[in-house]
């Protein structure tokens, strides 16, 4: 059935770099390069343990290799001379597009009936690197798309950037039902490590990682499974604008992330969700799944407190946080992919009266972005109730 003036996510792909850094490895890297005393070393190790992150991925081998084998940072005490913005942007130019291509190919492989040559628009989202001609043009060439493919770059919006990419894709597809929009988030957060001992920097160094995600948006759903983009809602909490910031400095991009961020989110999240739901004439009872951006453990906890959720409701975000850390704009798409995979597996209680997915992310501003998606499932693939599976198989979930 064709839905007039609607847009659907019809595939989601993800990719992470090959270098895997466990959280304990990352903590030891910090202790070593910051040359911390015993008390501060204990503090950093405790901070890393409490993040609920097991591992993160990075394009830089240095985080996983002994200091004497560094190839990006100098093999010197204090890492001097510390890499400049130029050196970091050279890594971005070299690594961003190959990683993005992996997430795009993953996206296409999950939708074999789709012809990539029919893509009409490409939207790239990133806040961790800039150059021109940029990743958008390199992706057009690498995918051998027509040179007439329309391009848009959404830059420097931080962790909520994917929402702007999806809102733009939604507007394009609603205006032109023949449009096929590829949205690609590419974030290499690990190239911006700052060797400062302020709590803000210790926290951001403990959370952020590299990753890419790609989604395909069309005006018609797939025969088997799609996510209908129902509604978006954005708000600003200007009183929190100093709590989260992202500035270009001489030695990379500097992230300010204070302990006040969860407090501001706590104050604004309930009203944001109520307004979003009201736009769709929905209540929280109509929401079956949550795709919350795992900005950090405490952010997830305050949202749960405010919205009356438990950690099981929020399992997709915790899973992505544990396996990947915070990959800025790409992260929420990883969470959506987890929900997509669970729905398509049939190992879930899909309730046709609760097909809605509530999603949100946060960033500089302090910006709160949110959206409602609706899982559109073909009758033949709608998930079987958990009760139909044996107790043995349920225990494996």
Residue 159 a catalytic site member? yes
Which tokens is 17 given? Answer: 């770099």
- Cβ-count burial of 310 within 10 angstroms (0-12 exposed, 13-18 middle, 19+ buried)? exposed
Which tokens is 174 given? Answer: 């609603």
Q: 56, 73, 64, 45: which is closest to 195 by C-alpha?
A: 73
Going residue by residue through the chain, which has 397 residues, state the pLDDT in tens, using 9 for 90 and above. 454 689 999 999 999 999 999 999 999 999 998 989 999 999 999 999 999 999 999 999 999 988 889 999 999 888 999 999 999 999 999 999 999 999 999 999 999 999 999 999 999 999 999 999 999 999 999 999 999 999 999 999 999 999 999 999 999 999 999 999 999 999 999 999 999 888 888 889 999 999 999 999 999 999 999 999 999 999 998 888 888 888 999 999 998 888 888 899 988 899 999 999 999 999 999 999 999 999 999 999 999 999 999 999 999 999 999 999 999 999 999 999 999 999 998 777 667 768 999 999 999 999 999 999 999 987 644 543 433 322 232 222 2
> What structural domains and CATH numbers belong to the chain?
8-218 (3.40.47.10), 225-395 (3.40.47.10)
Please give the Cα distance from 230 to 211 (Å, whole number): 26
Contacts of 240 by beta carbon, 8 Å cutoff, 6+ apart: 260, 261, 264, 365, 366
Report the 10 Å Cβ neighbour count for 235: 16
State whether residue 188 is helix, strand or coil.
Answer: strand
Q: What is the pTM of this model?
A: 0.93
**Catalytic pick from 21, 127, 159, 234?**
159
Which tokens is 21 given? Answer: 């850094």
Read off φ and ψ for residue 255, nearest 5 degrees. -95, 125
On the CB side of 309, CA atoms within 13 Å amount to: 26
Contacts of 266 by beta carbon, 8 Å cutoff, 6+ apart: 302, 305, 306
């Amino acid at each position: 059935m064709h839905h007039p003036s609607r847009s659907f996510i019809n595939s989601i792909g993800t990719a992470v770099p090959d270098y895997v850094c466990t959280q304990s490895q990352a903590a030891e890297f910090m202790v070593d390069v910051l040359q911390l005393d015993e008390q501060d070393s204990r503090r950093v190790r405790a901070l890393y343990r409490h993040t609920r992150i097991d591992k993160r991925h990075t394009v830089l081998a240095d985080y996983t290799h002994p200091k004497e084998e560094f190839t990006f940072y100098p093999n010197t005490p204090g890492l001097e001379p510390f890499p400049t913005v130029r050196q970091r942007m050279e890594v971005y130019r070299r690594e961003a597009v190959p990683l993005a291509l992996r997430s795009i190919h993953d996206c296409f492989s999950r939708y074999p009936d789709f012809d990539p040559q029919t893509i009409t628009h490409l939207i790239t989202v990133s806040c961790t690197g800039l150059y021109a001609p940029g990743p958008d043009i390199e992706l057009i060439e690498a995918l051998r798309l027509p040179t007439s493919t329309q391009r848009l770059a959404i830059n420097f919006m931080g962790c909520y950037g994917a929402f702007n990419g999806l809102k733009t894709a939604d507007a394009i597809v609603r205006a032109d039902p023949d449009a096929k929009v590829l949205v690609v988030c590419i974030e290499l957060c690990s190239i911006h490590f700052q060797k400062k001992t302020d709590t803000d920097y210790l926290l951001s160094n403990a959370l952020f990682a590299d990753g890419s995600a790609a989604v395909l948006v069309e005006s018609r759903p797939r025969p088997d499974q799609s996510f209908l983009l129902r509604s978006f809602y954005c708000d600003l909490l200007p009183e929190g604008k100093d709590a989260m910031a992202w500035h270009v400095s001489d030695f990379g991009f500097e992230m300010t992330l204070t302990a006040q961020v969860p407090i501001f989110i706590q104050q604004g999240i309930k009203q944001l969700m109520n307004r979003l739901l009201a736009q769709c004439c929905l209540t929280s009872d109509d929401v079956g799944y949550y795709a919350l951006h795992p900005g950090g453990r405490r952010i997830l906890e305050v949202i749960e407190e405010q919205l009356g959720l438990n950690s099981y409701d929020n399992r997709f975000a915790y899973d992505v946080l544990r396996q990947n850390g915070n990959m800025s704009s790409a992260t929420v798409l990883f969470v959506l992919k987890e929900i997509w995979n669970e729905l398509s597996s049939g190992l879930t209680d899909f309730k046709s009266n609760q097909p809605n997915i509530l999603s949100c992310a946060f960033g500089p501003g302090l910006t709160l972005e949110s959206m409602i998606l609706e899982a559109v499932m073909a009758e033949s693939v709608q998930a079987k109730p958990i009760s139909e599976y044996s107790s043995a198989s349920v225990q494996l979930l």
